[in-house]
A and B are shown apart, each in its own frame.
Chain A
Amino acid sequence: MRTRNRMGRPIRALAAAAALALVVAGCGTESGDTTPSADDTADAGFTPPDLPMATELGDFEGQVSLLAWPGYVEDGSTDPTVDWVTPFEEATGCEVSVKTFGTSDEAIQLMKSGEYDVVSASGDASLRLIAAGDVEPVNTDLVPNYADIWPFLKDRAWNSVNGQMYGIPHGYGANLLMYNTEVVDPAPTSWGAVFDPDSPYAGKVTAYDSPIYIADAALYLMKTQPDLGIQDPYALDETQLAAAVELLKTQGTIIGEYWSDYTVQLSSFKSGDSVIGTSWQIIANLAQGEKTPVEVVLPEEGSTGWSDTWMVSSKTENRNCAYAWMDHIASPEANAAATEWFGEAPSSSAACEVASEGHCEAFNAGDEAFAEELYYWNTPIEQCLDGRTDVTCTTYADWQQAWTEIKG
């Protein structure tokens, strides 16, 4: 009995202490509010907060802080020969610090801190950043190298609002179907190969571990089940999302593992633990470099892909260095080096003139027809992106919830 009492007291007292701390905490959190306009903008869908745009540039501030996909900002510390930061630092005196992120969602979370001046955002992040007022409009006149960007990358749904650019395109690529040529026979031509529950490769199929992968299933349904009426894989009403979730749950029975990073997929293709699944060109290149018998194909249904944009934080104190960085990364040399290192098509046409032999061809850079076959990562929101007004679409939060359920 005595031990019981000894037990109860600390827990109760702890609860009391916690209650006290709650009061303190409540006061603390109340004051740290976010942008007051954030709620209105979300309801209004595409009306971004009215933020000023830089009209002229001044002296460099001496430093700039970047938030980037791994491999987008290299200063030679990874590999002494891979460095497009040092030339920038020497030319501008802006000292670069970088933080990398693994998913678009992580990038959004980190941008909210206001600690980063520039971010490399994919299409599934950019609209959310714009709507929340975390990034500001970009005056492309102040970015000389913007002139060389492929025209089909300018003023797109994922990097502009009402004709106003919110960033400088970095590069783009497709999610491709990769397969082991020794095991998978005949060579697949359709995404059906990864959605077939009776697949002969059950247990060795792999898929991308992110809610955005739901769009891959939606794209497949769009082409194979026209009755569902899917027009855009990022604009799904509840029935359409349910169908995609159903398809992915079925796929779950033949999945060996979900991957979210390079090495994981590379090693499992090399070891034979995975033999077929969605992948990126760079992974295929690396695997082939290691003599793994793999091939990639752009399936007949087309594919999802990414198109990344450098955006400026609305809270930046280093605006001049930020603009200088965006101009630098759009310059032929840096754009070629960065997209080659990551394995994607450059955004600058001039980059193809200085890039290594075959780089632009390997990634179909500048091929507008190829680019138009891709459904770039976008943010699902209530207002259907395909223009439907009679239904509300499922949001990214619904997708996130659905993804948790799919994996179970």
Chain B
Amino acid sequence: MTDILHRHPRLRLAGLLGPPMLWLGVAYLGALAALFITSLWTVNTFTGSIQREWNLDNFRDLLTLEVYRAITVRTLLIAVAVTVIDALLAFPIALFMAKVATRRWQKILVIAVLTPLWASYLVKAYAWRAMFSGTGPIAWMAEPLGLGTPGYGLAATVVTLAYLWLPYMILPLYAGLERLPNSLLEASSDLGAGGATTLRRVVLPILMPAVVAGSIFTFSLTLGDYIAVKIVGGGTQMLGNAVYDTFLTGNNMPFAAALSTIPVLIMLVYLSAARRSGALENL
């Protein structure tokens, strides 16, 4: 057995690759494909049973109804805002962890960054609901300054989502910065570059793939979320809500499937762009 494997690398490859590919290539892709077939069918909206008549009505509705365009644009803007905020927040802490902190502190900080991942997502979202409340800590702190809480809505949604996904941005940035050789930075400063110039011309370009890797998480998680926005968004609707509501509230699986093509397309475009920057190696 071992002998055969040793002499036939192709067999070894097949043996190694077979199970994961069966799982992902056949089962997962198959499920996705079935979903998109469904988007070409319609539903009897009274009984909720699916009627297998091929048509493009769902996609026509999707393109002609103003409200779905508005929701898509809003979701994209939220995703971009969340990603930018996370990148800005993650950069200094990742840099500090990788290049300033002692080994001991490095460990402590990694723990500090990872711990929030274990606190339930739902509870964190509810905590932000309490934070943004008219009588919550934010209003309480802002009051002496003559300000108030922004209340539930777009702003609260962006902050909450940025908060929830922050660790997913810090970790790739930290890993990327750790790999960055100190000698490179020393060379830069030896050649007369100041801290800011070094950051801009040496660190950031090298770090870009890591940022993109992190943004894949923040982007996809934002596109797929419907719970946090329900908790802090007031009446704000995102793509996730539209898909979820059509599927569960509307019992309209075909239209939900059609709606799902929007975030899937966005992510596929995003992934191709990310690939070009070599970010997928940095996930």
What is the minimal beta-carbon distance from B267 to any residue of chain A, in angstroms?
Answer: 12
Q: B65, B233, B252: which contacts A397 (Cβ < 8 A)?
A: B252
- When the two chains form their complex, are residues B26 and A21 in contact, meaning their CB atoms are under 8 A apart? yes
- When the two chains form their complex, are residues A267 and B235 in contact, meaning their CB atoms are under 8 A apart? no
What is the minimal beta-carbon distance from A115 to any residue of chain B, in angstroms?
Answer: 16
CB-nearest residue of chain A to B268? A11
- When the two chains form their complex, are residues B25 and A34 in contact, meaning their CB atoms are under 8 A apart? no
Q: B129, B231, B251: which contacts A108 (Cβ < 8 A)?
A: B251
- When the two chains form their complex, are residues B133 and A267 in contact, meaning their CB atoms are under 8 A apart? yes
Chain B residue numbers with a CB within 8 Å of A112 are 48-49
Q: A41, A264, A396, A405: which contacts B45 (Cβ < 8 A)?
A: A396
- When the two chains form their complex, are residues A29 and B37 in contact, meaning their CB atoms are under 8 A apart? yes
Q: B49, B70, B233, B272: which contacts A38 (Cβ < 8 A)?
A: B49
Is the CB of B64 closer than 8 A to any CB of chain A?
Answer: no
- Chain B stretch 140-154: residues in CB contact (< 8 A) with chain A: 151-152
User: Given A25-B30, A404-B237, do A42 and B46 touch, yes or no (CB 8 Å)?
Assistant: yes
Chain B residue numbers with a CB within 8 Å of A267 are 129-130, 133
- Chain A stretch 13-41: residues in CB contact (< 8 A) with chain B: 17-19, 21-22, 24-26, 28-30, 34-35, 38-39, 41
Is the CB of B230 closer than 8 A to any CB of chain A?
Answer: yes
Stretch binding the partner chain, chosen from A56-64, A71-79, A255-263: A255-263
Q: Mark B237-249, 1 if CB is under 8 A from A, else 0.
A: 1000010011111
Is the CB of B224 closer than 8 A to any CB of chain A?
Answer: no
Most buried by B among A19, A109, A272: A109
CB-nearest residue of chain B to A210? B249
Q: How large is the interface on A (under 10, 10 to 19, 20 to 34, 35 or more residues)?
A: 35 or more
CB-nearest residue of chain B to A400? B250
Is the CB of B55 closer than 8 A to any CB of chain A?
Answer: no
Is the CB of B44 closer than 8 A to any CB of chain A?
Answer: yes
Q: How large is the interface on B (under 10, 10 to 19, 20 to 34, 35 or more residues)?
A: 35 or more
Distance between Cα atoms of A292 and B37 in the complex (Å): 52
Chain B residue numbers with a CB within 8 Å of A382 are 46
Q: B29, B65, B67, B251: which contacts A105 (Cβ < 8 A)?
A: B251
- When the two chains form their complex, are residues B47 and A21 in contact, meaning their CB atoms are under 8 A apart? no
Is the CB of A408 closer than 8 A to any CB of chain B?
Answer: yes
Chain B residue numbers with a CB within 8 Å of A28 are 30, 34
- When the two chains form their complex, are residues B235 and A407 in contact, meaning their CB atoms are under 8 A apart? yes
- When the two chains form their complex, are residues B49 and A17 in contact, meaning their CB atoms are under 8 A apart? no
Q: A103, A256, A260, A407: which contacts B237 (Cβ < 8 A)?
A: A407
Chain A residue numbers with a CB within 8 Å of B47 are 38-39, 41-42, 128, 131-133
Chain B residue numbers with a CB within 8 Å of A381 are 46
Is the CB of A233 closer than 8 A to any CB of chain B?
Answer: no
- Chain B stretch 233-283: residues in CB contact (< 8 A) with chain A: 233-235, 237, 242, 245-252, 268, 272, 275-276
What is the minimal beta-carbon distance from A276 to any residue of chain B, in angstroms?
Answer: 14
Is the CB of B136 closer than 8 A to any CB of chain A?
Answer: yes
Distance between Cα atoms of A29 and B52 in the complex (Å): 10
Chain A residue numbers with a CB within 8 Å of B32 are 18, 21
- When the two chains form their complex, are residues B34 and A25 in contact, meaning their CB atoms are under 8 A apart? yes
Is the CB of B135 closer than 8 A to any CB of chain A?
Answer: yes
CB-nearest residue of chain A to B43? A397
Distance between Cα atoms of A13 and B45 in the complex (Å): 37
CB-nearest residue of chain B to A396? B45
- When the two chains form their complex, are residues B248 and A255 in contact, meaning their CB atoms are under 8 A apart? no
CB-nearest residue of chain A to B70? A408
- Chain A stretch 103-145: residues in CB contact (< 8 A) with chain B: 103, 105-106, 108-109, 112, 128, 131-133
Q: B36, B152, B231, B252: which contacts A400 (Cβ < 8 A)?
A: B252
- When the two chains form their complex, are residues A258 and B275 in contact, meaning their CB atoms are under 8 A apart? no
- When the two chains form their complex, are residues B133 and A264 in contact, meaning their CB atoms are under 8 A apart? no
- When the two chains form their complex, are residues B135 and A271 in contact, meaning their CB atoms are under 8 A apart? yes
- When the two chains form their complex, are residues B237 and A109 in contact, meaning their CB atoms are under 8 A apart? no
Is the CB of A301 closer than 8 A to any CB of chain B?
Answer: no
Q: Mark A384-405, 1 if CB is under 8 A from B, else 0.
A: 0000000000011100110111
Distance between Cα atoms of A378 and B25 in the complex (Å): 44
Is the CB of B83 closer than 8 A to any CB of chain A?
Answer: no
User: Given A105-B248, A256-B234, A273-B151, do A17 and B25 touch, yes or no (CB 8 Å)?
Assistant: yes
User: Given A203-B151, A271-B134, do A109 and B48 touch, yes or no (CB 8 Å)?
Assistant: yes
CB-nearest residue of chain B to A131? B47
Q: Mark A358-402, 1 if CB is under 8 A from B, else 0.
A: 000000000000000000000101100000000000011100110
Which A residues form the contact surface with B (CB < 8 A)?
3-4, 6-7, 10-11, 17-19, 21-22, 24-26, 28-30, 34-35, 38-39, 41-42, 103, 105-106, 108-109, 112, 128, 131-133, 203, 209-211, 252, 255-258, 260, 264, 267-268, 271-273, 379, 381-382, 395-397, 400-401, 403-405, 407-408
Report, nearest first, the 5 A-B pairs whose CB atoms are least far apart.
A397-B45, A25-B34, A132-B47, A400-B250, A257-B234
Q: A209-B230, A401-B250 are in contact. List 9 more A-B contacts (CB 8 A).
A: A21-B29, A21-B32, A26-B37, A38-B47, A108-B251, A109-B248, A252-B235, A397-B250, A408-B237
Can you list 11 A-B pairs, Cβ within 8 angstroms, ordered by A?
Answer: A22-B36, A39-B44, A105-B250, A132-B48, A256-B151, A256-B152, A257-B233, A267-B130, A401-B65, A404-B67, A408-B71
